[in-house]
A and B are shown apart, each in its own frame.
Chain A
Amino acid sequence: MFRTEYRKIVSVLSYRFGIEHIELAEDIVSDTFLAATESWSTKGVPDNPTAWLYTVAKNKTKNWLKRDNFFQQKLLTDLRHSIPEGEEIEIDLSARNITDSQLAMIFTVCHPSIQAEAQVGLALNLLCGFGIQEIADAYLTTKTVIYKRLSRAKEKLKEAEIKIQQPTVTEINERLEVVLKTVYLLFSEGYYSTSHNTVLRKELCVEAMRLCYLLIEQELTNTPAVNALMALMCFHASRFDARMDNTGDLVLYQEQDESLWNRELIERGEYYLHQAGASPVLTRYHLEAAIAYWHTHKEDSAEKWENILDLYNQLLILEYSPVAALNRTFALAKARGKKEAIKEAEKLGLTENHFYYSLLGNLYTDIDNGKAIQHYETAWKRANTPADKALMEKNIEQIKERLNS
């Protein structure tokens, strides 16, 4: 509840004060929660804790404005246009204004002048209410690194004088793509992170989906691409519990226990994919969501792999990436056989990429096991994480066992 309310109040205050005073907003909110900790630990939690927090946040804001003359002058100059003479500043913490503020904040954080990595950090901090420590855990780095990164990004926002305001139709068209990219990055950070903190990783995924839902709820931002991204995240998230064992190690798709797949999320995904298909627009999220949809059918079938292959072909035309090219080749092997896939794979020549060798290892298995082992060994050398290395060792082991028996 602290985290949820934190991000709501920060958004509302920043929306009210403007980006120049974002630190003040954060200070007031931190102070509010500190006061709650003090008071509730001795007196007990009040009947309506949210109302308590809102009242205290409002009072602290007013006290701040009264106390700090310098600040009052500066802030009031900034706000003058919106406050009638002689009236006290009002902080509107209604549900409507909270949503508006958060939406405005998403478009601020995802401003093109901010680097993608910093955007995700800012989103985690300002839009999701994560602390420095939690963000550092997610990125497997130190608090100092994250603190600096966030401070720099906030400076950037201030320098660029980006307004926190309701995005116009033009701005939505211009920036929605960056917004979606950030939301997807946030999701991927949780989904693919090598951090063993499963609870935290899951929360990142949930937060990304929440932000996406916020966009779906607004008429202007409820576009096919937003729905497609939501579908994609639902399909992926449905396997969250199945793709990790008790120790937090990765379980490969083929070895996953299907009964652990979350049916409800798959159904939600199907719903959003259907919504996304309501217009002829086709984005990478549509294609990726459709690929993810087929992966919710575990059983191999000609139909499944032909469809996936076709979708990857379209995706590569729309937006080439080495990962998509490798995945497309895997789909080709499933649809048309390994021999054809090997020919295509070797044309890719992605010799810097350990997934490339891992794919070749897979394709050569049972066709030329000597070569398969060689490729897996190269992949092992290039792999960056212990998890990837362990996987390669396992593959080599399995081929050797088969050769011996």
Chain B
Amino acid sequence: MNEFLLVFRRDYKTKEIQPSPEQLQAHLNRWREWFAELKKEDRLARPPQPWESKGKVLGHDKSVTDGPYAEIKESIGGVTVIRAESYEEAVKIAETCPIFELGGTVEIRMAAM
């Protein structure tokens, strides 16, 4: 088994496309089900950890600004580490993730030796 980092990104900025409170609640339930499923199959390499949606960004000149990056629309919604045999399997797992409902993306990285 290998460990894979999943990075979930989505556009949190464009106001017009943000989910309504009701949609967000439904979305939340899908995430909970998804994590429950991963846990049941013993795929979670770390306990899930929520991160704040905003933070700090250090620029080239080490100037500190409030993050996420102002230049790009998509920002990180969360990260999680799962167990899978291969990229192929990790992709299969990531495909079932609820982020796609809201037009997000998942980046997958295998833990290096």
A joins B in a complex: yes
Nearest CB in chain B: distance from A199 CB, A: 10
Contact of B21 among A3, A35, A38, A42 (CB under 8 A): A3
Nearest-Cβ distance from residue A15 to partner chain B, whole angstroms: 19
CA distance A318 to B50 in the complex (A): 60
CB interface residues, A 24-39, toward B, < 8 Å = 30-31, 33-39
Residue contact A133 to B23, C-beta cutoff 8 Å? yes
8 Å CB contacts to A: which residues of B11-37?
A: 12, 15-25, 27-28, 31-32, 35
Return A203 CB to nearest CB of chain B, in Å: 9
Is B88 an interface residue when CB atoms closer than 8 A count as contact? no
Contacts of A235 in B (CB 8 A): none
Q: Does B16 lie within 8 Å of A38, measured CB to CB? A: no
Given known pairs A41-B31, A42-B48, A42-B50, the reply for A144 and B16 (CB within 8 Å) is: yes
Taking CB atoms, residues of chain A closer than 8 Å to B18 are 30, 131-132
A35/B53 in contact, CB under 8 A:
yes
| Minimum Cβ distance to chain B for residue A151 (Å) | 9
> Could you tell me the distance in whole angstroms from the C-beta of B27 to the nearest C-beta in chain A?
6
Interface hub of A6, A42, A144 (most chain B Cβ within 10 A): A42
Contact B22 A34, beta carbon cutoff 8 Å: no
CA distance A61 to B50 in the complex (A): 20
A38→B51 contact, CB < 8 A? yes
What CA separation (Å) do A1 and B25 show in the bound complex?
A: 8
Q: State which residues 56-112 of A face B: CB under 8 Å.
A: 67
Q: Does A139 contact B (CB under 8 A)?
A: no
B22 touches A38 (CB 8 A): no
The answer to whether B22 and A3 have CB atoms under 8 Å apart is yes
Q: Which residue from chain B places its CB closest to the CB of A43 in the assembled complex?
A: B50
Q: Is B71 an interface residue (CB 8 A)?
A: no
Chain B residues whose CB sits within 8 angstroms of the CB of A144 once the complex forms: 16
Contact A131 B19 (CB under 8 A): yes
Q: Choose from A3, A36, A42, A44 the contact partner of B20 (Cβ within 8 Å).
A: A3
**Which of the listed residues B19, B20, B31 has the most CB atoms from chain A within 10 Å of its own CB?**
B20
In the assembled complex, the Cα of A130 lies from the Cα of B77 at a distance in Å of 23
B52 at the interface (CB under 8 A from A): yes
* Cβ contact within 8 Å between B21 and A6: yes
Instruction: Check if B96 is an interface residue, CB within 8 A of chain A.
Output: no
Chain A residues with CB below 8 A from B80, complex form: 42
- Is the pair B20, A34 in contact by a Cβ cutoff of 8 Å? no
A143 touches B16 (CB 8 A): yes
**Cα distance A131–B31 when bound, in Å?**
20
Residues on A with C-beta less than 8 A from B24 are 2, 33-34, 37
A165 and B19 alpha carbons, distance in the complex (Å): 29
Please name all residues of chain A whose beta carbon is closer than 8 Å to the beta carbon of B78 when the two chains form the complex.
38, 42
- B49 contacts chain A at the CB level, 8 A cutoff: yes
CA distance A3 to B24 in the complex (A): 9
From residue 77 to 104 of chain B, which have CB atoms closer than 8 A to chain A? 77-78, 80
Are A129 and B53 in touch, CB under 8 angstroms? Answer: no
What is the CA–CA distance of A144 and B14 in the complex, to the nearest angstrom? Answer: 12
Q: Are B32 and A41 in contact (CB under 8 A)?
A: yes
Inter-subunit contact A134/B50 (CB<8 Å): no
Tell me which residues across on chain B come within 8 A of A42, comparing CB atoms: 31, 35, 48-50, 78, 80
Taking CB atoms and an 8 Å cut-off, the chain A residues in 1-57 that contact chain B are 1-3, 5-6, 30-31, 33-45
A294 an interface residue at 8 Å Cβ cutoff? no
The residue that A131 contacts in the complex, of B22, B32, B35, B51, with Cβ under 8 A, is: B22
Closest 4 pairs between A and B when the two form their complex, measured CB to CB: A131-B20, A41-B31, A42-B48, A2-B21
Known: A2-B21, A147-B16. 18 other contacts (CB 8 A): A2-B24, A3-B20, A3-B22, A30-B18, A31-B53, A33-B21, A34-B12, A34-B53, A35-B52, A37-B27, A38-B53, A38-B77, A43-B48, A131-B19, A131-B23, A133-B20, A134-B20, A143-B16
A-B pairs with beta carbons under 8 Å apart, 6 shown: A5-B21, A38-B53, A43-B50, A45-B32, A130-B20, A132-B18
